[in-house]
Every structure is written in C-alpha cells, then in structure tokens.
Amino acid sequence: MDSPFGLLAELTYRCPLACPYCSNPLNMAGYQDELTTDEWRRVLAEASELGVLQCHLSGGEPLLRRDLGEIVAHAHDVGLYTNLITSALGLSRSKAEELRAAGLDHVQISIQADEPTVSDRIAGTPSFQRKIEAMGVVKELGWPLTMNVVLHRHNIDRVADVLALAEDVGADRLELANTQYYGWAWRNRDALLPSRAQLEAAEVVVRAARERLRDRMDVIYVIPDYYSRFPKPCMGGWASRQLTVTPNGDVLPCPAAQPLPLPRASVRDEPLERIWAESPIMTAFRGTDWMPEPCRSCYRRELDFGGCRCQAFLLTGDAARTDPVCYLSPDHDLVVRAVEAANADSRSDDPPLIPRPHRPGLPAIAPPQGRRGGRGHQG
C-alpha cells in the first residue's frame, strides 16, 4: 500500500489503571509534553489527506483529555471513522452524550476479568462495576460495542466466564488478546506467560463460542506469539498499513516501537505525509530488502515480514534479526526457554507483578492552546 489506512492516536499516557500487562513505554516522563488541541487537529487533517480512514483514539486513558470531544468532532469533520479505546473510567452518561454528538463512531472498552475482585486486582484499582455501567450506556446510546480482554496466566482460565459476560452486556465484538510482551508486559513476562495446558483449554472454549455466537457476536482471538510456529506479521508489514502518533507527537510504525534505536520523527517538526514517505523510522524495515537470512530466502517473507521488529529487539538487542518466535530463527532458543519456564513442573509460585504507574501527578486537562514543545509546526 502507498498510504496507511489506520491511525492510532495516543492522546495521553496518563491512566487511572495500573495494569501489569500495559504496552505503554517505561519512560512515561518523556511524554508529558502532550500535543495541544490545535496540533491534534492538524495531525488528523493531515492523516485524512494521507489516506487514513480509521482513527483509533487511545492512550493511556483518552478520557483524561478534556478536549476529547473537540478532537472527535474534528476527526469526524475530516472524514475519519473514530473508535474510542478506553478503560471507561470517566465515561459518564454526560461525557458519552457529548462524544455521541461530536460524531464518535465506535467504543472499545477494556475489562480485566469477568469477576469484580479479580478484575480490580489486575487493574490495580476498583473499576469493574464502573466498566459494566459504561457498557450499558454505550449500548443505550446505540454505539457498536467491543469488549477487550487481555489474556494472561492470571485470567485465561476464566475465558468461558468472560464470554458469558460479553453476552450479558450485549457486546457486538469480543477481542480476546493474549498478552504481547512490550513495555510493562515485557517486565512482567515471567509472571504473565500462560502454560501450554492453559492455552489449549482456552482455545477449545473459544472455538466452541465462535461457532455458537457467529450470528450475534464477533469473537476475535489473538494467539500468543511465544507458542506459535511462525511469528505474526508486523502490523501487516512495517509502515505499510498503520501508523501511531504518540502523546508528544512522535510518529511510529507501531505503538511498541519506542525503544528501537532509530531517529525520531515528530509532527511538531514535519508534515505527516513526509514522515510517512521519507523518515528513517518508517523506511528502516519497510518491504523485504532489509531482511537477513533465513528470512531473505524464506517463502513466508511477504506473509510475516520477518516477524515483529520490536520483539526481535527486546529479545536479541538487534531490531534487524529474525523474530525469535519463528522456529527457523537462530535465536529461537530464547523463546523456547521462556516457554519451558512457564511450563516447568517445579513452578509453584508466580513472580510478583509490577504494576504500571498511574502517573497521578499529571493534571487531567488539555495543554493550553498556545504552548508548544520543541519546534512548533503550524498547519
């Protein structure tokens, strides 16, 4: 593709939850200088001109931006389909009605488990009941509702009950996403990685539910990388279909690329179109010419594109290596050892989970309209 069709707009990394599987970057202090309302308006207009069709409003918690309604309205005005990805803490009826009037098209609400005590423990704060109430508001206002549950060692055994909860709240789509090990999830990998027996049991339940619910609910099951024979395609190919704009204006090919040692590109310095077409972070692994062996001569090189560059970097220190998830990778033993540890008979107690910080010191307001960080770019 010559242009992306999806934009992940990470409006803020502030969040009222402390989920240990969060993929947000570890150095959240580096993202406090958030784009202003006017800067987001310009980014959204440039994204539309670039060919983007879908805009996913995420974070952190996007509801902590008091200008969220204005951002949604502008995205609607420039022709983008908008999806709010939220913990739903802060999605009151009045806020929901404001966003509905602004033109928001879809709501995706995360929940940590089907049972209040388990869900609140994983989230790091009482939140389950507020999420359920918010889902009710979403359905009452006529939005399509996606319920998202990140699966891991501490909740995957409850997948049947999670499916029942999705039915109860009237979800149109349920996303069961096995944890991807970036950010805080990378730090907590040993405590989060499920056993093979847990995965096999969950997959039986999910397959049966997909068949039973096929006319009422889309059930999406994101398989876990570490148990796969081949790696997942890297966002459909590095900088091929999607792009991410972080709270401070950095542009990335995917939301997990912050740690990679590549030159940064910012919407505060350059137009989005130029960044997409020319910036080193977008062109570094685009296509197949960069590939080493065994990827270069592999028949799957245009199916999985060598796997995930961010995962390769975290596991090997080299973003250009074959993703170690692939059984053909020379580094596959790194994944094999992690899986063996998760399935060890001697394993009795799980390592303690490290919660993601809430960042409570940051105010829940949009930055003043006139303030800019670095070199501002008027559009």
- The SS3 assignment for 230 reads coil
Q: Computed from CA positions of residues 91, 93, 95, 100, in that sequence, does the dihedral angle turn out positive or negative?
A: positive
Find how far residue 71's CA is from the centre of its chain. Answer: 20
Q: Computed from CA positions of residues 54, 55, 61, 66, in that sequence, does the dihedral angle turn out positive or negative?
A: negative
CA angle 98, 103, 106 (to 5 degrees): 95
Q: Is 254 annotated as a binding-site member?
A: no
Spell out the residues 6+ positions from residue 87 whose beta carbon is closer than 8 angstroms to its own: 15, 16, 17, 61, 63, 109, 110, 123, 127, 131
Find how far residue 2's CA is from the centre of its chain. Answer: 23
Cis amide linkage into residue 60, ω under 30° from 0: yes
**Long-range contacts of range 310-314, CB-CB < 8 Å, 24 or more positions apart?**
310/182, 310/254, 310/256, 310/257, 310/259, 310/260, 311/181, 311/182, 311/225, 311/231, 313/259, 313/260, 314/181, 314/182, 314/186, 314/259
Q: Is 22 annotated as a binding-site member?
A: yes
Q: Tell me the DSSP string of 10-50.
A: E-----S---TT--S-S-GGGG-SPPPHHHHHHHHHHHHHH
Q: Is 15 annotated as a binding-site member?
A: yes
Spell out the residues 6+ positions from residue 144 whose beta carbon is closer than 8 angstroms to its own: 105, 106, 107, 172, 173
Please report, in range form, the residues annotated as the binding site: 15, 19, 22
Task: Pick out the residues of the known binding site for [4Fe-4S] cluster.
Answer: 15, 19, 22
